[in-house]
Structure 1
Amino acid sequence: MKLTLVAVGRLRKGPEKALVDDYLDRFAKTGRGLGLPPLSVQEVEARGSLTEAEAIDRALPDGAAVIILDERGATLTSPQLAQRIGDWRDQARDVAFVIGGADGLSQGLRDRADLAISFGAMVWPHMLVRVMVAEQLYRAASILAGTPYHRA
């Protein structure tokens, strides 16, 4: 199993990067004993004739379950997300979480996604969504490890 976060744009030094790094470190430590690999982060950009959609597509591992972050997606509880991650782990399935840029994700990518997740009806800045994804992955690993996730 491989876990990848594909995100449009570069996360520069600052509070968001510090939070993402902290949660990814916690996820790696907690997930190690659960058979969860560390999360690989692939930052992509549209360059030259390459569109954001094409850059995202190139970064996706072949055969991976594609999970997009989209305001039109399903609102899952943390235990529900943990269950999905545990299922993919048990199936040895690669998983790619995708965060689009300011213009969102292409319709083609939304159609292709195995799951669309929303963090609520509001639109969130994509850099904050990275923090939220990293935190929820750590929380999912904590739930799978049997710790009280509300205290994780």
Structure 2
Amino acid sequence: MRVHICAVGRLRSGPEKSLIDDYLTRFDRTGRALGLGPARVVEVEDKKNLGMSAEADLLRKALPKGALICTLDERGKLLSSPDFAGKMADWRDSGRQDLALIIGGADGIDSSLRAEADFSISFGKMVWPHMLVRVMLAEQIYRAATILSGSPYHRT
């Protein structure tokens, strides 16, 4: 199952991008034997500043056809890392070819796109900078692969 992190905004070179690249490279190596990956980041940008609705339209265009859509949203479900790994395994085992994990812009994800999602995850009640959420999500994707592979990376 291919993994697509679809996010609003462009991430410039810097520590966040380095971390994301590192975690996704690790995920690709670990996930390959598990039927997970590759992972990629798809960025969209509302250059005209038309708002969340325009961002939602750009995100929709970036989604692979037939992808399972999972939003990252403060109203989403709180999952432990093992639960997230289990979700990824379930989605893979159900025959899904693509998983699209959506990160909205500074104002979040438009309600119409949230309504189209198959699932929604929350990283807690706190609001996180959307660029930092990319790093946290990339690490959790890698962690999920290590949990599924039985690696000691994840310690409980």
Bin for the TM-score computed over the shorter chain: over 0.9
Write the mapping of 1:1-152 to structure 2, written as runs, cut at 5 A. Answer: 1-48=1-48, 51-93=54-96, 94-151=98-155
Q: Distance in 2 between matches of 1:2 and 1:31?
A: 10
Residue type matched to 2:54 in 1?
Answer: T
SS state at 2:34 partner: coil
Shift of residue 139, structure 1, vs aligned partner: 0.2
Q: Distance in 1 between matches of 2:47 and 2:129?
A: 21
Residue type matched to 1:60 in 2?
Answer: L
Q: Distance in 2 between matches of 1:121 and 1:18?
A: 27
SS state at 2:79 partner: coil
39-48 or 59-68: bigger deviation: 39-48
Q: Distance in 2 between matches of 1:70 and 1:136?
A: 15
SS state at 1:33 partner: helix
> Given the two structures, how large is their TM-score scaled by the length of structure 2?
0.92
> Given the two structures, how large is their TM-score scaled by the length of structure 1?
0.94
Shift of residue 35, structure 1, vs aligned partner: 1.2
- Segments of 5+ residues of structure 2 without an aligned counterpart are none
Structure 1 stretches of 4+ moved >2 Å: 47-50, 148-151
Q: Percent identity?
A: 60
- Segments of 5+ residues of structure 1 without an aligned counterpart are none
Calculate the aligned-residue CA RMSD, in Å.
1.4
